[in-house]
């Protein structure tokens, strides 16, 4: 963390030393919850930090409409256990700062954005309509369970300008000396009035003896009115783990409705089917969010996963701390009461 602070301070000094316009922001999120998790064998209560984070971002205007941009973001475990944060955990216990989150350096202008760093992969589409992101019942419990990474290291990324609501992005992870390990991702996003549509295709190079490469494609769609939203998506993965015909299809559907000025009731279902026998799973999540103010909310969420005999999908794994992995064929459940606070402050 000391190294991170030195880099941030140095970047800030460089920005301040120039007479050209520049900007620096500090932002973050604190997310704590009390979870009662039933693995279908035993029940336990957990105090959990889920995808808490702190980051710095900003830009340096080289000339009109041409900027150097950057972001440094780190996961934070507010329970100080080190491995209880939903960000991937730390290398040792007792740490507050854990794994790196989206961080990059790049340029943007009329041509779009070109970035290099630790960047989202599956998160580029799975969170387009994910009503329980970082809570129990997160869509990623099913969609990220077969090997497509939520984020990836060493990403080279380009996104086009916005063309009347449409932009396209390309992500590439080079093999870096490991043959056939490079990864490709192509995504498109269209936003028009109340409708949002996204599509994605990815190909994962796999090392080893297999000649097959894992691939996947997905589409999400959402519609928003004044007091309710409705959305869903479809994802198909092929040759998972390099195994021929080891395919999986997943779908999700959800909706939310505002209750009064501050409350939101939401429900989301997800189902994942494998071509292999007894490897399907279904997830149901129900929740209520209540805004305490502009930057804070409390929530209550309940989620359950129904696993076939040969799979053990978790109900509180993606983005959530204290993941409980059930035995194969068991049906875990979780009830969670949480508090979330976020901030975004302009330093210069």
What's the pLDDT at 5? 45
What's the pLDDT at 131? 97
Q: Distance between CA atoms of 268 and 284, rounded to whole angstroms?
A: 6
> Closest Cα partner for 72 from 60, 54, 87?
54
Evaluate whether 297 touches 266 at the Cβ level (below 8 Å).
no
Angle formed at CA 235 by CA 233 and CA 239, multiple of 5 degrees: 175
pLDDT band at 53 (very low <50, low <70, confident <90, very high): very high
> What is the share, in percent, of the chain residues with pLDDT greater than 90?
80
Homologous superfamily in CATH for domain 2-346: Porin (2.40.160.10)
Tell me how far CA of residue 27 lies from CA of 21, 103, 129, 171, 253, in angstroms.
Answer: 20, 13, 23, 25, 31
Whether the per-residue pLDDT at 4 is higher than 50: the answer is no
pLDDT digits (tens, 9 = 90+) for 222-274: 999 989 999 999 999 999 988 888 999 999 999 999 999 999 999 999 999 99
Whether the per-residue pLDDT at 298 is higher than 60: the answer is yes
Evaluate whether 333 touches 41 at the Cβ level (below 8 Å).
no
Provide the residue ranges of all domains of the chain, joining segments of one domain with +. Answer: 2-346
DSSP 240: G
What's the pLDDT at 178? 81
> Closest Cα partner for 246 from 207, 205, 274?
274
pLDDT digits (tens, 9 = 90+) for 78-134: 999 988 888 888 887 888 999 999 999 999 999 999 999 999 999 999 999 999 999
Q: Within 10 A of 304 (CB to CB), how many other CB atoms are there? A: 19
What's the pLDDT at 8? 47
Instruction: Return the sign of the alpha-carbon dihedral for residues 78, 86, 126, 38.
Output: negative
Tell me which H or E stretch contains 8: helix 2-16
Q: Distance between CA atoms of 347 and 326, rounded to whole angstroms?
A: 45
Task: Read off the tokens for 259.
Answer: 């209750």
């Amino acid at each position: 963390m000391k190294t991170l602070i030195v880099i941030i301070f140095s970047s800030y000094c460089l920005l301040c030393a120039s007479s050209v316009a520049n900007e620096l922001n500090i932002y973050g999120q604190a997310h704590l919850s009390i979870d009662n998790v039933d693995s279908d064998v035993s029940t336990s209560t957990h105090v959990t930090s889920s995808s808490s984070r702190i980051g710095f971002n900003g830009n340096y205007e080289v000339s009109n409409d041409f900027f150097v941009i950057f972001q440094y973001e780190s996961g934070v475990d507010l329970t100080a256990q080190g491995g209880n944060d939903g960000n991937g955990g730390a290398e040792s216990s007792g740490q507050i700062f854990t794994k790196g989150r989206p961080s990059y350096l790049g340029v943007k202008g009329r041509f779009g954005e070109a970035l290099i760093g630790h960047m989202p992969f599956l998160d580029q589409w799975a969170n387009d309509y994910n009503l329980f992101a970082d809570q129990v019942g997160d869509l990623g419990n099913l969609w990220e369970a077969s090997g497509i990474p939520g984020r990836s290291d060493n990403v080279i990324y380009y996104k086009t300008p916005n063309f009347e609501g449409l932009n396209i992005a390309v992500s590439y992870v080079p093999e870096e000396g490991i043959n056939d390990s490079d990864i490709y991702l192509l995504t498109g996003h269209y936003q028009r009035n109340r409708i949002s549509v996204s599509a994605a295709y990815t190909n994962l190079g796999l090392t080893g003896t297999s000649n097959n490469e894992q691939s996947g494609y997905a589409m999400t769609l959402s519609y928003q009115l004044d007091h309710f939203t409705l959305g869903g998506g479809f994802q198909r993965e092929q040759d998972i783990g390099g195994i021929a015909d080891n395919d999986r299809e997943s779908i999700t559907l959800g909706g939310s409705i505002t209750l009064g000025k501050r409350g939101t009731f939401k429900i989301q279902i997800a189902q994942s089917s494998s071509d292999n026998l007894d490897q399907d799973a279904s997830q149901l999540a129900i929740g209520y969010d209540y805004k305490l103010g502009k930057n804070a909310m409390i929530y209550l969420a309940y989620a359950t996963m129904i696993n076939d005999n040969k799979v053990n999908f978790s109900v509180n794994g993606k983005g959530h701390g204290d993941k409980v992995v059930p035995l194969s064929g068991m049906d875990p459940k979780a009830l969670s009461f949480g508090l979330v606070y976020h901030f975004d402050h302009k330093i210069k």
